[in-house]
Every structure is written in C-alpha cells, then in structure tokens.
Amino acid sequence: MPPVKKRARTYNPARIRAAVRAQFGNVREGVSTLTPEHLALPTRLGEWSVRELVAHIGTALDVVGRNLDRPAPAKAEVTVLDWPFGTSANSGDIADTARQLAERNPDPVAHLAGVGERFAERLALHPAGTRLLATGTGAMSLDDYLVTRTVELVVHTDDLNTAVPGLDIPFDRQALAACTRLLADALAVKAPGASTEVRIPPYAVVQCVEGPRHTRGTPPNVVETDPLTWIRLATGRTEWKTALDEAKVSASGERADLAKLLPLMG
C-alpha cells in the first residue's frame, strides 16, 4: 500500500447508493438475456467463465451484508483511497469463491435477484452510512465501502460486455463517475506530485508525478483519455502501449508516460 496519504474526495452518499443499485439493476437485466451458451463463454479474467463472473458480481454486493454482520471496529483504519491498493492480496480466494458460488447457484438470474433483495434490506437498516465495517482492506465506513462497490460493478460490467458478443449493459452515469474518480485519485496517491495532469473528461482531472510544478497556462505534461479506457488501464485490462497505439489515450511531455505506474489494481 502506498505510504503517501491524501485527503479522500467527498462523495454524496445518497447518490452513491442510488448508483450502486442502478448499476446492479443494469447487470441483472443484462444477465437475464444470457443463454447457457453465453454463460459458458470464457472471460478475460483468467479461467473464469461468464457464469463465474456473474457469481462474483453478486458477491461484490453480498459482502456488504457479511461485513455488517461482523462486530463494528472501534475506529476507522483506512479511507476509500486505500482500497484500490489492497485488493490483489485476496485474488486467489475471490476466484475460488466465484467458482463455488457458480456451482451452488445454477440460475444466475435468481441468484442476482436474491442478492439485490438482501442488499436493499441491509442498507435500509443503516441509512446514515457511518457504521464502520471490518473489510479486507481495513476498517472503513459503510459510505466509503459503497464507493468501492461502484468500481466492482463498473469494471465487471465492462468484463461482461467484452466477454459476450452483442451484450451492451449500460453504465449508470453516477457509478461510472465515482469509479473513474476513485481510480484517478488512486493514481495521485501512488505517484504524488504536480508535474503531470491526467484528464478523464467529463469526470476527473488529477495532478500527479514528481517534478516541476505547473502553475499557469497549459501543463507541460498532459495525459487524456476516456473513462472506460482509464478504468481498463487502471485495472490491467488494457496495457499503456496498446492504448497509445490504438489512440485511446493521448500523452504529451516527458513525464506523461504512465506505463510504470499502471495498473493500480490487479
């Protein structure tokens, strides 16, 4: 986990809750159109099939309830900015859980419906969102943890769309915005500085990378890309060189090469 600490961006809790519910609803509707042949297709996530990916998406929300069932920690240990750097340690366990869930839940539509109902019930019991959760990254507030769910849902929606030809699950605007902003802020944590400006319109602009500080006019080092390309770069779905070669990202200036800083999440 990076040693540099930075004040976390403020997110509107009501909008984040609405975004999580909306994106999960989009996923449920998309999954309802899948055939058994679709569910058996491979994904870009190692050996996971589409069925296992769907099972994991359900886990991304079910874990909220499981964490709420655990005793509340005495104090917060991390912020939402720490979460992206603490996810890779559990990747093996996550894969095993997804396989087991897929086997136990042969009907993915019914599985996601149950997840959605449980999630809504648990959130209704905690309207304030200040309750602390003991997460795999450390103790954080429910409101912070729900921001991380936008990343899980948006990233895996993109994984589903990539795996299934013709599938076009839409992205909720608020969920896409929160996911983009959190991963952009994580870059600024990993590479603190103000020599390079990373622009991801219309959702985020961050300054990062050590070097001469820009004060006025056009920055000497600029990176610009679209939200989905940024998310793919930050999570290792796309390599920096590939994005450059395909003109999905523009980079100008000697400190605009982010190849060694990416991905942020495994």
In the chain, domain spans:
13-176, 191-261
Question: Looking at domain 13-176, does it have CATH number 3.60.9.10?
Answer: no
pTM of the model: 0.94
Position 2 pLDDT exceeds 50: no
Q: What is residue 217's predicted lDDT score, i.e. its pLDDT? A: 64
State pLDDT tens for residues 64-91: 999 999 999 999 999 999 999 987 655 5
102-158 pLDDT, tens digit per residue, is 888 889 999 999 999 999 999 999 999 999 999 999 999 999 999 999 999 999 999
- What is the pLDDT at residue 215? 63
Are 251 and 257 contacting, i.e. CB atoms less than 8 angstroms apart? yes
pLDDT at 94 over 80: no
The encoded tokens of residue 53 equal: 């990916």
Above 50 in pLDDT, residue 211?
A: yes
Look at residue 243 in the predicted model and tell me its pLDDT: 98
The pLDDT, as a whole number, for residue 262 is 97
Instruction: Judge whether 13-176 and 191-261 match in fold.
Output: no
- Residues 3-59 pLDDT 10s: 455 677 899 999 999 999 999 999 999 999 999 999 999 999 988 999 999 999 999
pLDDT mean over 165-177:
98
Q: Does domain 191-261 have CATH number 3.30.1050.40?
A: yes
